[in-house]
Chain A
Amino acid sequence: MVKRKVAWEFYIISAFITLLILFVGFYFGITLSREKIQELQNELDNLKLRQEDLTLELTLLALNKNISCDAIGFELEKVIGDAADLGDRVTIYEITEKVKDESFYNLKKDYTLILVRYWTYLEEMKKSCNRTDVVTILYFYSNTNCQNCQGQGVVLTNLKQTYPQNIMVFALDYDIDLNIISLLKKNYNVSSVPSLVINGKVYGGLITIERLRQIVCTEHGLCG
């Protein structure tokens, strides 16, 4: 008969090592999260810089009708595309990051404000340059409680692929706590997600690609 013993020392040492690995993991996680925020912030700063540039260009345009509409239109198109890319990354961060950095929420608000700003610039440019061939879509989505938002996103991406220069999509978080967003929701009568505001007209619920093509073609004269 042997008297069996529990090898406590192994269980305790292993617990310490495991905890150490977990702590290293948490440390890495926090560092990585900051790194991600930093990258988002850098891209946001870049967008802000370009915003200043556009402000001046648009001011000039208002003063002098001889300023090239094409150049401003081109720059706007590019910057809106870059803003959309940043928006994708903001969303990835928001969905995948388990423990979000506190500064993220302000960053997202900051980003949304810039996006709205670009939207106003686009509207201004459309008016000044008489660009009826550009359709503006405000897309209200939510990362919580929205069954069809992912699908709507796919549809919009597809539409944007077909008309890269004529469709401008601005994805706005329905739930974000900003006065301008509340104002826009109220102004356009947006009360659910997903909702699209196409050239100022609201369309609630999921819009499939077929219907969306029909809307932009017949109601907004894009294909003619």
Chain B
Amino acid sequence: MQLIDLIYLVIYSIILYCSVLWFTVFFKNRGKMFKNPKPKRFPSITFLVPAYNEEKNIGRCLKAILDLNYPKKRLKIIVIDDGSKDNTVNIVKRFKGVKLIRQKNSGKAVAMNNGLKHVKTELVACMDGDSFPDKDYLLKIIGHIEKKNVAAVTSAMKASETGSIFQKIQWVEYLWAIFLRKLFSIFDCQYVIPGPGSIYKTEILKKIGGFDEKNLTEDMEIGFNIVDHGYKIGNSIDAYVYTNVPSGFKGLYKQRMRWYRGYIQNTMKYSHMVANPEYGNLGFFILPINFLWMFILGFLLFSMILRWLWDASQYFINWSYVEFALMPLRVNVDIFFLDFYTYFWFWFLIVSLATIGLSVFYSGEKLDIKNKLKFYISYILFYPILSSVFWIASAIYEILRVERKW
């Protein structure tokens, strides 16, 4: 056995361990997945809707909020226009009872903090302009925040469009995230409070200083901040919010660079949490393993690329020795093709399929193999490579200290 095989064995064992851990967490808590505490009352709530050039989506968003199943008197909306250059402002003005605040373009976190100053209700909800909630969204989510020590509750986000291949992949990814976010909340290790549809206790949000205006991912910073202040983050698995996802590679790349670099930025800002058991499972396991994960991904990607290049060049060289004559492809499917990699790949396939199945089930979708098979296949084939490329690129940007821009 060579060193490289040993490295692979260790890496694959780590991946296997993480998968087993999540399945164990799921299995022990499978009864709690769909449980939403019944709201005992309807606390007053303000929706903060930051919008920058959202003329296409803002109408849909505001209409959906106004249509929510919730006492109208207990619900307020504040739109913060972040210096849009399009028709956003005029569209917002058409909606009665929607308060509009305008600022010169200075980013989402500034907009949120500006809006927060005007909030007088007990709760705050964030709703990005390109997203919109399901009709029962508030009823499903509101019970979770009544618990003591819970400062925020995250929603269940779904991709609203599935036109392009990247959107299809993200559609599956978002379902997976719904499932995983629930497990994270059960395991008490959520650290992201996504912009579309998360709710906060106003008092706590103000007390901890609102959103970090110098952060790439202010919705992650606020998560770390809440955990750091000793509060919990809840999750409702069926408070659905639909959000636009990038349709092309470029848009997706830009978004993920922001997310992943934001993650690196925030783990540096909250580095005292890393490997610190005082922060529970997040500090003890999630943050260290994410750190390790970046090296693993880097190693896997580079070793794979090197191997492909090496194999291809060897093949080409050998081919040139026989003057590019047809080479017989001899593929014997027999036991001589099975080795320890096959065993791991077998497990990884099972894990992927089980994860997709559970994600689809727990996000309230149907498997719908007939129409969705290509979604799942593209996800399994391309998502691992895509996400490793994004992670590695963002790590390189951070190492080279490329300027962080929103």
Mark B336-359 against chain A: 1 for CB-CB distance below 8 A, else 0. 101110011001000000000000
- Produce 1/0 per residue, A84-104, CB < 8 A to B: 000001001100111100000
Of B229, B319, B336, most buried by chain A (CB within 10 Å of CB) is: B336
B278 within 8 Å of A (CB atoms): yes
8 A Cβ contacts from B319-341 to A = 319, 321-323, 325, 327-328, 335-336, 338-340
Which residues of A from 119 to 168 have beta carbons under 8 Å from B?
Answer: 150-152, 154-155, 157-158, 161
Q: Quick one: which of A21, A39, A92 contacts B347, CB cutoff 8 A? A: A21
Asked if B253 is at the interface (CB within 8 A of a chain A CB), the reply is no
Chain B interface mostly helix, strand, loop or mixed?
A: helix
Does A13 belong to the interface (CB within 8 Å)? yes
- Residue from B229, B322, B343 within 8 A of A158 (CB atoms): B322
Q: Given known contacts A5-B280, A21-B347, A98-B5, is B24 in contact with A154 (CB within 8 Å)?
A: no
Q: Does A71 contact B (CB under 8 A)?
A: no
Cβ-closest chain B residue relative to A3:
B230
Chain A residues within an 8 Å CB radius of B322: 154-155, 158, 209
Cβ contacts under 8 Å, A150 to chain B:
314, 318
Q: How far is the CA of A14 from the CA of B19 in the complex (A)?
A: 9
In the complex, chain B residues whose CB is within 8 Å of the CB of A35: 335
Interface residues of A: mostly helix, strand, loop or mixed?
A: helix
In the complex, A11 has a CB within 8 A of chain B? yes
A-contact 0/1 string along B1-43, CB 8 Å cutoff: 1000100000001001100110011001000000000000000
Q: Are B1 and A10 in contact (CB under 8 A)?
A: no
Give the docked Cα–Cα distance between A36 and B357 (Å): 36
Asked whether B21 lies within 8 Å of A151 as measured between CB atoms, the reply is no
A161 to B330, CA, bound (A): 13
Chain A residues contacting B282 (CB-CB under 8 Å) are: 4
Asked whether, in the complex, the Cβ of B343 is within 8 Å of the Cβ of A25, the reply is yes
Given contacts A1-B230, A29-B340, A155-B322, contact A10 B24 (CB under 8 A): yes
Contact (Cβ within 8 A) A209 B323? yes
Q: A4-B188, A7-B187, A154-B327 are in contact. Are A93 and B336 (CB under 8 A)?
A: yes
Q: Report the minimal beta-carbon distance from A115 to chain B, rounded to whole angstroms.
A: 19
Least CB distance, B189 to chain A, in whole angstroms: 9
A151 touches B318 (CB 8 A): yes
Chain A residues contacting B319 (CB-CB under 8 Å) are 154
- Residues of chain A within 8 A of B343, CB atoms compared: 25, 28-29
Once the chains bind, are A18 and B20 in contact (CB under 8 Å)? yes
Q: How far is the CA of A179 from the CA of B232 in the complex (A)?
A: 75
Min CB distance, B35 to chain A, in Å? 19
Q: Could you tell me the distance between the alpha carbons of A215 and B336 in the complex, rounded to whole angstroms?
A: 35
Is A206 in the interface zone, CB < 8 Å from B? yes
B-side contacts of A93, CB under 8 Å: 336
B339 near A2 (CB under 8 angstroms)? no
Choice from A1, A22, A96 contacting B13 with Cβ under 8 Å:
A22
Q: Which residues of B contact A96 (CB under 8 A)?
A: 336, 339
Task: With a 10 A CB-CB cut-off, give which of B5, B231, B283, B322 has the most chain A CB atoms.
Answer: B322
Residue A178 is within 8 A (CB to CB) of chain B in the complex = no
A17 contacts B280, C-beta separation under 8 Å: no
Contact A151 to B321, CB < 8 A, known contacts A6-B284, A97-B339: yes
Are the C-beta atoms of A4 and B280 separated by less than 8 Å? yes
Q: Of A2, A18, A29, which contacts B17 at CB under 8 A?
A: A18
Cβ contacts under 8 Å, B293 to chain A: none
Residue B251 is within 8 A (CB to CB) of chain A in the complex: no
For the complex, is A62 an interface residue (Cβ under 8 Å from B)? Answer: no
Q: Report whether B318 and A154 are in contact in the complex, using a CB–CB cutoff of 8 Å.
A: yes
Task: Judge whether B279 is part of the interface by a CB distance below 8 angstroms.
Answer: yes
Residues of chain B lying within 8 A (CB to CB) of residue A29: 339-340, 343
Could you say which residues of chain A place their CB within 8 Å of the CB of B1? 98-99
Are the CB atoms of A18 and B13 closer together than 8 Å?
yes
B285 contact set on A, CB distance < 8 A: 6, 11
Task: Specify the chain A residue showing the minimal Cβ separation from B283.
Answer: A4
Instruction: Tell me, yes or no, whether B255 is within 8 Å of chain A by CB.
Output: no
Residues of B within 8 A of A25 (CB): 340, 343-344
Complexed CA–CA distance, A88 and B29 (Å): 52
Pairwise interchain contact B230-A7, C-beta atoms closer than 8 A: no
Interface string of B257-283 (1 = CB under 8 A from A): 000000000000000000001111111
Chain B positions within 8 Å of A154 at CB level:
318-319, 321-322, 327
Q: Does B304 contact A (CB under 8 A)?
A: no
Q: With A14-B20, A14-B21 in contact, is A4–B335 under 8 Å at CB?
A: no
CA distance A206 to B317 in the complex (A): 12
Closest Cβ–Cβ distance, residue A203 to chain B (whole Å): 15
* Residue contact B317 to A151, C-beta cutoff 8 Å: yes
How many angstroms between the C-alpha atoms of A32 and B187 in the bound complex? 39
A32 CB, nearest partner CB in chain B, Å = 6
CA–CA, A89 and B321, complex, Å: 23
Q: Residues 28-46 of chain A: 1 if any B CB is under 8 Å from the residue's CB, otherwise 0?
A: 1100100110010000000
Interface residues of B in 131-149 (CB under 8 A from A): 149
State in angstroms the CA–CA spacing of A54 and B7 once bound together.
49
B318 touches A6 (CB 8 A): no
B230 x A36 contact (CB < 8 A) = no
Q: How far is B282's CA from A62's CA once the two chains are assembled, in angstroms?
A: 83
Shortest Cβ gap from A11 to chain B (Å): 7
Please measure, in the bound complex, the distance between the C-alpha atom of A18 and the C-alpha atom of B20, giving whole angstroms: 7
Answer yes or no: A15 CB below 8 A from chain B CBs.
yes
Q: Is A208 an interface residue (CB 8 A)?
A: yes
Can you list 5 A-B contacts with CB-CB less than 8 angstroms, sorted by A residue number? A6-B280, A10-B187, A13-B24, A18-B20, A98-B5
10 interchain residue pairs of minimum CB distance: A4-B280, A1-B230, A14-B21, A158-B322, A154-B318, A18-B17, A14-B20, A6-B284, A151-B318, A25-B343
